[in-house]
Amino acid sequence: MSVIKYIGRRTDFRGKSMWEIVSNLKNFGVGRILVRSMFERYPENSWIKILKVEACPPTPPDFYDTLRRVKITAERVFRGKKFEKPILIEKVSYKTDYRLLSKKEEADYCKLSQREEKLLPLEMDLPPLLREFVFKETGRKDVKMKIVANESLYNNARRVKENETPNCEVPIGLGTPHPTSRSLYEGIELK
Amino acid sequence: MLRNLLGKTTIDSLSANGFNISYNPVCVQSVRWRRKPRWIPKAKTKIFRIPNHKPLLPEETHEWLRINNNYKLQMNSVRAFFREEVMNKKKLIAQGQTPADEEAEFERCKSINDEWNQEIANIRDARYARIMKKRCEKLETSLDHLERIKELQMTKIEERVRIQKEKSTTFITRKNIDQAIEHALSNQVDFNFSIDLQGNIYKGDEKPGSVAKKEAN
């Protein structure tokens, strides 16, 4: 019996590449659901539903890379939130990190969920040194700066709109530690 | 010196792989940037060793994420704050409005700059004057020198001309060429001569003894 010995580095990927899965399915798996194991770390489920499959012709200059790829148009759900438009997966399709969801599992697994939104205030304090500079120039100590957050469509955090109250604070210093990580600050006085 | 006395040992097995490690039992100097080159393969004993990933502690991950997110938010906000400030200032300048204190500041800077420029200009003028003076002096001396050389050359030329003039009285010209030819034909000169062991000179090409001794002309 042959002995398998591994060399190299351990990988975080678990599963097969997209082409490995899709090539063995009827009609190239249109209508089936794929899950990327890297996204299974989140409490909410993420998955993609295959809509269309195209093969990738081997084209230079990355001849051997394209051999491992496949073009898949899919409906994407990330952390329980569905994308409005279908997405095209090509370059990441070679990653051996996908698994096929069995038809029995589908109904149980594919449930959309709503995450609690993080509402940020509109303004925050200036950093201490900048505050001093501004005070020297204008003589005002109450100057605040606008908060700039990444408010893309699928981001969970956004600034408050009218008639809303922020549900989190944005401190300029260290802030309050995460509830699970209070042990890191044992014996240290926090302001 | 001590190092030379002790000698330097090279580990052969390592030098065979393409890099040297000098080994000295007394003085060990660690060189931090020297490491195994990339083309040297993994050691035989380590080839099947697969390092495990270090486990991430949830308390550390959560705290790190929180701090990092806060930092990014703060930095983006500060950047936007500065950008807005600059844009406001640019707008004011485009409208032709500059704050009064800025104008005063500009004037102050300009006066200081002018002062510095004046100082430097004074130094520069003095230097130019010095250089000009030096150059004039040098030119004058060189002109004197040139004149002297010219005079010397003229005297030499005149001397040569005088000598040639003196010589020209004996030259054969168109006028006296017939006379010179006649003179040459009438006074034939025989330059042949012989000499014996006693040092007697016999003019002419005839053998000694056959002709009586001639006296030199």
Question: What are the pLDDT digits (tens) for A33-48?
Answer: 999 999 999 999 999 9
pLDDT of residue B112: 97
Domain ranges of chain B: 1-34, 61-97, 107-159
pLDDT-based confidence at B193, cuts 50/70/90?
A: confident
pLDDT in tens, A87-121: 999 999 999 999 999 999 999 999 999 888 889 99
pTM of the entire predicted model = 0.57
pLDDT at B149 over 50: yes
User: What ipTM was reported for this prediction?
Assistant: 0.81
Q: What is the dihedral of CA B188, B194, B198, B199, to 10 degrees?
A: 60
Q: Which of A8, A145, A148 sits opposite B50 (nearest CB)?
A: A8
pLDDT of residue A1: 77
State whether B62 and A184 contact (CB < 8 Å).
no
pLDDT-based confidence at A49, cuts 50/70/90?
A: very high
State whether B48 and A170 contact (CB < 8 Å).
no
Count of C-beta atoms within a 10 Å radius of residue A72: 25
pLDDT of residue A188: 87
pLDDT in tens, B11-35: 444 444 555 555 556 666 666 677 7
CB of A152 within 8 Å of a chain B CB? The answer is no
User: How near does any CA of chain A get to the CA of B13, in Å?
Assistant: 25
pLDDT of residue B97: 73
Query: How many Cβ pairs within 8 Å bridge chains A and B?
Result: 67
- Higher pLDDT among residues B73 and B215, named by residue: B73
pLDDT of residue B208: 54
pLDDT of residue B8: 46
Q: Which of A131-140, A150-159, B95-104 has the lowest mean pLDDT?
A: B95-104
Residue of A4, A151, A180 best to disrupt the B interface, most CBs of B under 10 A: A180
pLDDT in tens, B129-140: 999 999 999 999
As a whole-number percent, the residues of chain A with pLDDT over 70 amount to: 99
As a whole-number percent, the residues of chain A with pLDDT over 90 amount to: 60
Q: What is the mean pLDDT of chain B?
A: 83
pLDDT at A21 over 80: yes
Secondary structure of chain A in the HEC alphabet?
CCCCCCCCCCCCCCCECHHHHHCCCHHHHCCCEEEEHHHHHCCCCCEEEEEEEEECCCCCCCHHHHHCCEEEEEEEEECCEECCCCEEECHHHHCCCEEECCHHHHHHHCCCCCCCCEEECCEEECCHHHHHHHHHHHCCCCCEEECCCCCCCCCCEEECCCCCCCCCCCCCCCCCCCHHHHHHHCCCCCC
